[in-house]
């Protein structure tokens, strides 16, 4: 390190906290400013119903979850082992659940993880100031709105970890996009990611709201994903839907669903032919009731009675996706600051002492711990790059 810097970090999400961790460990002075009254609101929301912090599936499958080489480089440099070692250091043991998902040990709640991390940062000398909204910055000053009054603070380095634009009640409002645009910094409009598909489902299918449609394969554009869907009033959600969001944003709307991916067409037709009627055949094939309702709604009587036609339909059930759910409901967003506006150390080309990290940058990944791992890793990248 050349000399200790006065670093201001805006935000207290996982990207901000990890950037601050490395900076403090390396002897810099760090002050966090957060517009909400408490730290890490979205981090805690992510912990509802299981705190999936990262994922331990092997590379290259792990790296393929990310859409940009830049973010892959960061998750390679700060990987799941680094995260697990860090969590261990602050007293948070982890375990690996299904599909490689990494969780804190069962008795540890999301708030315990956050509190352990904040306590560690305070021991290293971090200062946290809440209710402070950044409203402007220039090359060496940041302007904050504190209880209705503007205050300016000087910095040596400014780290922005402002988040994306979903779940705005957590503080991730995306309002900073306009500030950046006004300064002539290249930005990409936000779009929903890891969001449900809006599909006009008939009432007979919507009646199965909340029920899973298990073991199906979904095809959209060039992408396919096996897994479990959930029926909602607006369409479908679930891991395959989230995985296929990117294909939808590229303009693909025709979703095909294979209701029996483990069975060949011949086997399905054989079972349908052996059954006393098609409804009984669908039961023997264990097709989810919601899909049976959809099949009956879509097919004319003679098509339904034709075992070959019905078999082919089961392997390729068509749906038209109308939209993704609104941005505010999405688990994450794409858009924000593109890598083309950033130097390799994640400083802004236009403001070389200002760094960006986390979901505010334009990259994408599915749920399953990949989002948080990239937020941790990009924060660590910035934290290690500031000399
Ligand atoms: C319902 C839900 C479930 C999720 N589940 C998972 C999961 O299981 N696994 C996974 O990997 N990811 C999950 N995520 C995604 C994950 O939580 C986010 O990707 C991650 O929190 C983003 O981190 P970040 O540090 O970039 O931004 P954030 O966590 O959004 O933090 C940004 C912070 O910046 C503050 N801020 C913004 N603007 C200003 C300003 N002008 N002045 C001052 N402060 C400001 C905000 O108040 C906020 O505290 C989930 C998200 C949601 C909504």
Which of the four pLDDT bands, split at 50, 70 and 90, describes residue 157? very high
Which of the four pLDDT bands, split at 50, 70 and 90, describes residue 185? very high
> Which pLDDT tens digit goes with each residue over 61-100?
999 999 999 999 999 999 999 999 999 999 999 999 988 9
pLDDT value of position 2: 67
Using a pLDDT cut of 70, give the percent of the chain over it. 99
Ligand 1: residue of 13, 34, 356 to mutate (most ligand atoms within 8 A of CB) is: 13
Tell whether ligand 1 has an atom less than 6 A from the beta carbon of residue 232: no
| DSSP string over 168-225 | GGGT---THHHHHHHTT---EEEEEES-PEE----HHHHTTTT-EEEEEEEEETTEEE
Take atom 37 of ligand 1 and give the residue whose Cα is closest: 162
pLDDT value of position 353: 98
Flag whether pLDDT at 1 surpasses 60. Answer: no
> Which pLDDT tens digit goes with each residue over 10-20?
999 999 999 99
Flag whether pLDDT at 319 surpasses 80. Answer: yes
| Cα→Cα distances 45→32, 120, 144, Å | 20, 21, 26
What the block records as the tokens of 178 is: 């306009």
State the average pLDDT for the chain: 97
Locate the domains of the chain by residue range. 6-192+328-385, 197-324
pLDDT value of position 123: 98
| Cα→Cα distances 152→4, 37, 377, Å | 21, 20, 30
What the block records as the tokens of 159 is: 């780290």
- Across residues 175-203, what is the average pLDDT? 98
Q: Phi/psi of residue 31, each to 5°?
A: -120, 130
- Across residues 262-276, what is the average pLDDT? 98
Distance from the alpha carbon of residue 162 to the mean position of ligand 1, in angstroms: 8
Ligand 1: residue of 17, 18, 46 to mutate (most ligand atoms within 8 A of CB) is: 46
Ligand 1: residue of 97, 147, 171, 361 to mutate (most ligand atoms within 8 A of CB) is: 171
Tell whether ligand 1 has an atom less than 6 A from the beta carbon of residue 34: yes
Tell whether ligand 1 has an atom less than 6 A from the beta carbon of residue 163: yes
Tell whether ligand 1 has an atom less than 6 A from the beta carbon of residue 375: yes
Distance from the alpha carbon of residue 265 to the mean position of ligand 1, in angstroms: 44
pLDDT value of position 59: 86
Distance from the alpha carbon of residue 172 to the mean position of ligand 1, in angstroms: 6
Distance from the alpha carbon of residue 118 to the mean position of ligand 1, in angstroms: 16
pLDDT value of position 17: 98
Q: How far apart are CA 53 and CA 82, in angstroms?
A: 12
What's the predicted TM-score (pTM) here? 0.95
> Which pLDDT tens digit goes with each residue over 110-142?
999 999 999 999 999 999 999 999 999 999 999
Q: How far apart are CA 184 and CA 321, in angstroms?
A: 35
Q: How far apart are CA 270 and CA 260, in angstroms?
A: 13
Flag whether pLDDT at 49 surpasses 90. Answer: no
Take atom 31 of ligand 1 and give the residue whose Cα is closest: 13
State the Cα torsion 176-143-386-177 to the nearest 10°.
10
> Which pLDDT tens digit goes with each residue over 229-263?
999 999 999 999 999 999 999 999 999 999 999 99
Domain 6-192+328-385 has CATH 3.50.50.60: yes
Which of the four pLDDT bands, split at 50, 70 and 90, describes residue 379? very high
């Amino acid at each position: 390190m050349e000399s200790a810097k006065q670093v201001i970090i805006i935000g207290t999400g996982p990207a901000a906290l990890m950037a601050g961790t490395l900076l403090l460990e390396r002897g810099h002075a760090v002050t966090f400013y957060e517009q909400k009254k408490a730290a890490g609101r979205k981090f805690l929301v992510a912990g509802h119903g299981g705190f999936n912090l990262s994922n331990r599936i092997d590379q290259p499958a792990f790296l393929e979850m990310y859409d940009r080489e830049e973010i892959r480089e960061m998750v390679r440099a700060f990987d799941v082992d680094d995260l697990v070692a860090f969590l261990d250091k602050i007293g948070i043991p982890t375990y690996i659940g299904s599909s490689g998902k990494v969780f804190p040990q069962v008795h540890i709640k999301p708030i315990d993880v956050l509190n352990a991390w904040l306590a560690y940062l305070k021991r290293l000398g971090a200062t946290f100031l809440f209710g402070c909204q950044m409203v402007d910055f220039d090359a060496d000053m940041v302007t904050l709105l504190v209880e209705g009054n503007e205050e300016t603070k000087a910095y040596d380095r400014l780290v922005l970890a402002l988040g994306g634009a979903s779940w705005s009640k957590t503080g991730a409002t995306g309002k900073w996009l306009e500030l950046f645009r006004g300064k002539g910094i290249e930005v990409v409009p936000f779009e929903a990611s890891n969001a449900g598909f809006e599909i006009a489902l008939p009432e007979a299918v919507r009646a199965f709201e909340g029920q899973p449609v298990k073991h199906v394969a979904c095809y959209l554009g060039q992408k396919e994903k096996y897994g479990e869907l959930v029926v909602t009033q607006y369409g479908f959600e679930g891991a395959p839907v989230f995985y296929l969001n990117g294909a939808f944003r590229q303009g693909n709307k025709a979703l095909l669903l294979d209701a029996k991916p483990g069975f060949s067409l011949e086997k399905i037709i054989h079972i349908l032919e052996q059954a006393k009627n098609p409804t009984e055949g669908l039961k023997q094939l264990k097709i989810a009731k919601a899909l049976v309702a959809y099949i009956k709604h879509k097919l004319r009587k003679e098509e339904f009675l034709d075992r070959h036609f019905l078999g082919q339909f089961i392997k390729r059930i068509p749906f038209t996706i109308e939209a993704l759910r609104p941005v505010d409901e999405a688990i994450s967003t794409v858009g924000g600051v593109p890598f083309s506006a950033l130097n390799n150390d994640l400083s802004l080309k236009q403001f070389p002492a200002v760094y960006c990290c986390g979901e505010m940058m334009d990259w994408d990944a599915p749920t399953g711990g990949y989002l948080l791992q990239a937020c941790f890793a990009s924060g660590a990248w910035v934290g290690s790059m500031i000399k």
